[in-house]
A and B are shown apart, each in its own frame.
Chain A
Amino acid sequence: MAKQPSSATKKTGMSVGDEVMISMENVNKWYGNFHVLRDINLTVNKGERIVICGPSGSGKSTLIRCLNRLEEHQAGNITVQGITLNNDLKNIDEIRRDVGMVFQHFNLFPHLTILENCTLAPIWVRKMPKAEAEKIAMQYLERVKIPEQAHKYPGQLSGGQQQRVAIARSLCMEPKLMLFDEPTSALDPEMIKEVLDTMVSLAEDGMSMICVTHEMGFARKVANRVIFMDEGQIVEQNEPEAFFNNPQSDRTKLFLSQILDH
């Protein structure tokens, strides 16, 4: 666990807008016979920072992967930025352009340099000129504090550095929403902090984000809403303070006791 930040410093300058960014209505998904997402209803406003937690296999990764169509849902409606997710490739492309994603295993492209990783999508998807894409990429690499690694290959960087590159790579597309899928789970303890710090600074700049993580310190400090999932359902959601100090459901209590007391 990273050290717990004090809750007194939190959420300065982070405001939640009224504009609806994501709405999920009665979303259901199956893997074969396995009902992995059960009747999910969720609305996310612009500027919200949501942390999703829950035991493994509870469907939290699947949920956020449905938001950019890495997974397909079978029933219900998902609308991102007013665009409905269906089989229309044009809609999917449009949503992916505006939604950045950071993965547990970074998923950097090992055959490209850090800089090329960051400029790939702006050049090919946004049709940006190379020089401009590189300029923007360097800005974001500076922002995640590794501009000096720009010409190295991902394999030459530490896990924490790679994850920060992955964040920069997503930011280069100037997304309106960031999805984090357990971004620190594959990292050594000493590297978790550098990634979390990057995410905190991102949140402070008003980025909307949905983050699947077990970093409860991060949740307390940054999130304006914590969602607890179990067996494919949203079991409880609340503001972090209330969620951690006064969980309502037994399952939440059990989960919190298991991850906090060790």
Chain B
Amino acid sequence: MAKKPTKSAKLSDVAFVRNEDAPLLPPPASQAGITGWLWQNIFASMSDFTSIGASIRSLLVAGLSVFLLYFGGLQIYTLIDFAFVSAVFSDPETLKREVCWTEQQGGSLPNGWHAACWPFVVAKQKFIMYGAYPAEDLWRVNLTVIMGLVGLGWVLVEKLPYRPQVGALMLTAYPVIAFILLTGGNSDTSSINIATWLVIGLGLISIARLGSRGYLGSFFNEVASIFSIIGWVVISFTVVRGVAAIDFGLTSVDTRDWGGLLITLVVAVTGIVASLPLGIILALGRRSQMPIARILSTVFIEFWRGVPLITVLFMASVMLPLFLPEGVNFDNLLRALIGVMLFSAAYMAEVVRGGLQAIDKGQYEGAQAMGLSYWQSMRLVILPQALTHVIPGIVNTFIGLFKDTTLVSIVGIFDLLGGGQSAIADAAWSSPVQAITMYVYIAFIFFVFCFAMSRYSMYMERKLSTSRKH
């Protein structure tokens, strides 16, 4: 509250009444337009010559700017020159390796030439993309990828109708279709096996139902939701296996023949799609009031975060078969997939937990006071806000996961990088630029995917922050 002027102060000195509004003026040139932008972003830091110190700093900043500009430009020029200007693009006479040899080496290119040898990459294209997948069945891979891209695009682009429905299909039917198309289906799972697992799943769900109504005592009441989740996982997994056992007349392709970008995408997409929901459940579990859910989630997260992914993959492919009974044989790729999935779920859980912690307690109370159940308040109130907060962290984990898929080459699965490396070993294309061309190409593919994810996440952040205006 303003203090009233004391009586002794002379009123004439203090009193003021505005009779005219102060004029509204346009901003000075340094604040607006192109000049303003240049001034604020570039010249402001290097044009202060008011004192000796400031002058030295301005000159230093200017010098450093010129140097960085030159150095950065040189890098970009080198890359463009390597990849496009000096590169060899075609091999009309099918000379193979000789097309990229200099005169000294016995070829026809000028000595000192050093640039990309694209015919090599073109020749290895099928191997880098599909691995040893049978050539006559490549349409199955292409169809899977095209369906995936169309579905993904449909879900990501706004204003298209039926987005939730398409999203649901992409999460349920598409993985099954993709699985059948890629492997060929017709797996020799017996119907007794399927039936047994269905019964087990239904049993778990019934226990959960009875438990949540309190018929089985307090212990089962507490763990009912865990039983329910496991039960549904078992059932959906069994249904998938049942469908995969049907003969669609496709030739079976062993996952050992898969390779290249196909493997990278399969591992990354499975990991990304599975890690988010798993991570959310683990994060909620870790913050749960129920001691059992909390302890289980915490142990799970800490265990998987505590071991390196390479160890996980090694254990999955080398150690796990030793513990399994004779004759039971998991697919090597499947084992790696599960390893990657659980590993990234643990990381995702901690990212999501960070988001949950940022939500004000009042939001939980508001939702509770309105009578929303725990799952309703999570789904409708808490998670939409928490996940929005941690979009950068989530996408960061996605990108990390996408690049970590290269580690599967350690256990004999030829992903994009592994496939590229074995392509380099081909003596028919041996030349000094063979390896570097391949690595540049592979780096480019990784960059495209990761950059796309990054941009989409930035777009999402902007969109959510403008529409919600906190």
Per the 8 Å Cβ criterion, residues 346-372 of B in contact with A are: 360, 362-363, 365-372
B467 partner residues in chain A, CB cutoff 8 A: 153
Q: Tell me the nearest residue of chain B to A123, going by C-beta.
A: B380
Contact among A105, A106, A111, A173 with B370 in the assembled complex (CB-CB below 8 Å): A173
In the complex, the answer to whether B370 meets A125 with C-beta atoms within 8 Å is yes
In the complex, the answer to whether A125 meets B371 with C-beta atoms within 8 Å is yes
Contact among A101, A109, A120, A156 with B369 in the assembled complex (CB-CB below 8 Å): A101
In the complex, the answer to whether A121 meets B470 with C-beta atoms within 8 Å is no
Are A111 and B372 also in contact (CB < 8 A) when A153-B468, A155-B468 are? no
Contact among A105, A121, A155 with B371 in the assembled complex (CB-CB below 8 Å): A121
In the complex, the answer to whether B468 meets A111 with C-beta atoms within 8 Å is yes
Q: Is A70 an interface residue (CB 8 A)?
A: yes
Contact among B362, B370, B470 with A120 in the assembled complex (CB-CB below 8 Å): B370
In the complex, the answer to whether B371 meets A96 with C-beta atoms within 8 Å is yes
A168 to B469, CA, bound (A): 21
In the complex, the answer to whether A103 meets B371 with C-beta atoms within 8 Å is no
Q: Contact flags (1/0) for A69-83 with B, using CB distance below 8 Å?
A: 010000000000000
A107 partner residues in chain B, CB cutoff 8 A: 360, 362-363, 365-366
Q: Tell me the nearest residue of chain B to A97, going by C-beta.
A: B371
Contact among A68, A110, A120, A169 with B468 in the assembled complex (CB-CB below 8 Å): A110
CB proximity of B395 to chain A, nearest CB, Å:
19
Q: Is A124 an interface residue (CB 8 A)?
A: yes
CB proximity of A212 to chain B, nearest CB, Å:
14
Band of interface residues on B: 20 to 34
Q: Is B78 an interface residue (CB 8 A)?
A: no
Q: Is A93 an interface residue (CB 8 A)?
A: yes
Contact among B363, B373, B381 with A93 in the assembled complex (CB-CB below 8 Å): B373
B363 partner residues in chain A, CB cutoff 8 A: 107, 109
Q: Tell me the nearest residue of chain A to B464, going by C-beta.
A: A111
Q: Is A108 an interface residue (CB 8 A)?
A: yes
In the complex, the answer to whether B365 meets A70 with C-beta atoms within 8 Å is yes
A68 to B366, CA, bound (A): 11
CB proximity of B220 to chain A, nearest CB, Å:
15
In the complex, the answer to whether B385 meets A173 with C-beta atoms within 8 Å is no
B365 partner residues in chain A, CB cutoff 8 A: 70, 103, 107
CB proximity of B466 to chain A, nearest CB, Å:
10
Q: How many A-B residue pairs have CB under 8 A?
A: 65
Q: Is B102 an interface residue (CB 8 A)?
A: no
A96 to B381, CA, bound (A): 17
In the complex, the answer to whether B366 meets A111 with C-beta atoms within 8 Å is no
In the complex, the answer to whether B380 meets A120 with C-beta atoms within 8 Å is yes
A256 to B368, CA, bound (A): 34
Q: Is B384 an interface residue (CB 8 A)?
A: yes
Per the 8 Å Cβ criterion, residues 48-66 of B in contact with A are: none
Contact among B380, B384, B470 with A155 in the assembled complex (CB-CB below 8 Å): B470
In the complex, the answer to whether A110 meets B370 with C-beta atoms within 8 Å is no
A97 partner residues in chain B, CB cutoff 8 A: 371
A99 partner residues in chain B, CB cutoff 8 A: 369
A68 partner residues in chain B, CB cutoff 8 A: 368-369
A125 partner residues in chain B, CB cutoff 8 A: 370-372, 376
Q: Is B225 an interface residue (CB 8 A)?
A: no
B376 partner residues in chain A, CB cutoff 8 A: 124-125
A99 to B368, CA, bound (A): 11
* Contacts A/B (CB < 8 Å), 30 sampled: A68-B368, A70-B368, A93-B371, A96-B368, A96-B369, A97-B371, A99-B369, A100-B369, A103-B365, A103-B366, A103-B369, A107-B362, A107-B363, A108-B366, A109-B363, A109-B366, A110-B468, A110-B470, A120-B372, A120-B381, A121-B370, A121-B371, A124-B380, A125-B370, A125-B371, A153-B469, A155-B470, A169-B370, A170-B370, A173-B370
8 closest A-B pairs (Cβ-Cβ)?
A107-B366, A121-B370, A96-B371, A107-B362, A101-B369, A125-B371, A97-B371, A155-B469
B residues near A (Cβ < 8 Å) are 360, 362-363, 365-373, 376, 380-381, 384-385, 388, 467-470
A residues near B (Cβ < 8 Å) are 68, 70, 93, 96-97, 99-101, 103, 105-111, 120-121, 124-125, 153, 155-156, 169-170, 173
